Amino acid sequence: MSQVHKVIIIGSGPAGYTAALYTSRALLKPLLFAGYASGGQLMLTSDVENYPGYPEGIMGPEIMSDFRKQAEKFGTEIVDKDVSSVDLSSRPFKVTVEGEDFFSESIIISTGAEARWLGSENEDQYKGRGISTCATCDGAFFKDKEVIVIGGGDSAMEEATFLTRFASKVTIIHRRERLRASQIMSLRARENPKIDWKLNTSIKSWTGSDNILTGAVLTNTKDNTDSNLSFDGAFIAIGHQPITGFLENQLDVDNHGYILNKINTMTSVNGVFACGDVVDTRYRQAITAAGMGCMAAIDCERWLEEN
């Protein structure tokens, strides 16, 4: 067997990097698999205004670059590859990355969550051909065009407000009358003259020509009537799902696939800890993920000491 690490961290958002910062300062020499798309969801965010310590706000990729540098400063080894599978059935645990096996006495999972899709008719056909889940990535393609944003949460409000920088008109489509978004985010969107609203409305199917999206058939969720809407682009912002596929059901999860922690941040397998959006169905903030990364690192360090 090759070298056995003290701790392997899987995932590189605020939770993973904070766990790396704490475990490296505890001299545990963490090995962190950051994934090809390292940095997590903040890499797809423009202005971060609610991370304490940045009164002027900071760009998402910039703060993640700082998180990474701080973890590296204390000796975290970072590999920008995706973990394909883990074997948690015996210790040391095995982590497989592109056919290569790594072994560790403990694991901290912080793989976060990824954007959900609607699953409406024809969606697959127009993914990346007019339908996106990331305004920060694709918004600039829609300069002076009309776009829609689907969702009623903070993400939808944020994406819609951001898209008004480029688009001539942004229509928010939400399946209920009431928004789920916070007051401040809703108000900001409501006060934006470029934003229009279609509440009590869902997407029945997507329409297009020559494989390029041109609109959708909408359904009024109150009276079930259909109507057509033409636009140039659509941004789906209906929340996220946890990234746990590589675990192959080796840990207890809830009905939605989020990892269930048993004692503090320890999962159903002793020595395996989880933190951030992969466990968090309630707060899902960068600051709470970072806080949980710190908790997982401390729990992990104490568990290693005791075992």
Provide the binding-site residues for ligand NAP, judged by CB under 6 A: 50, 118, 151-156, 158, 174-176, 180, 182, 202, 238-240, 284
Task: Tell me the closest approach of the beta carbon of residue 252 to ligand NAP, in angstroms.
Answer: 23
Residue with tokens 């900071």: 58
Which runs of consecutive H residues, i.e. helices, occur in 111-208? 123-126, 135-138, 154-163, 183-190
Task: Tell me the closest approach of the beta carbon of residue 190 to ligand NAP, in angstroms.
Answer: 15
Task: Tell me the closest approach of the beta carbon of residue 119 to ligand NAP, in angstroms.
Answer: 7
Q: Which is nearer to ligand NAP, 107 or 173 (CB)?
A: 173
Q: Which is nearer to ligand NAP, 40 or 152 (CB)?
A: 152
For ligand NAP, the nearest residue by Cβ is 153
Rg (CA), the chain: 21
Contact 279, 258 (CB under 8 A): yes
Task: Tell me the closest approach of the beta carbon of residue 218 to ligand NAP, in angstroms.
Answer: 12
Q: How far apart are CA 261 and CA 188, in angstroms?
A: 36
Q: Which is nearer to ligand NAP, 91 or 127 (CB)?
A: 127
Q: How far apart are CA 153 and CA 224, in angstroms?
A: 23
Q: How far apart are CA 304 and CA 307, in angstroms?
A: 5
Positions marked catalytic: 134, 137-138
Residue with tokens 């939605």: 256
Residue with tokens 């690490």: 5
Q: Which is nearer to ligand NAP, 109 or 203 (CB)?
A: 203
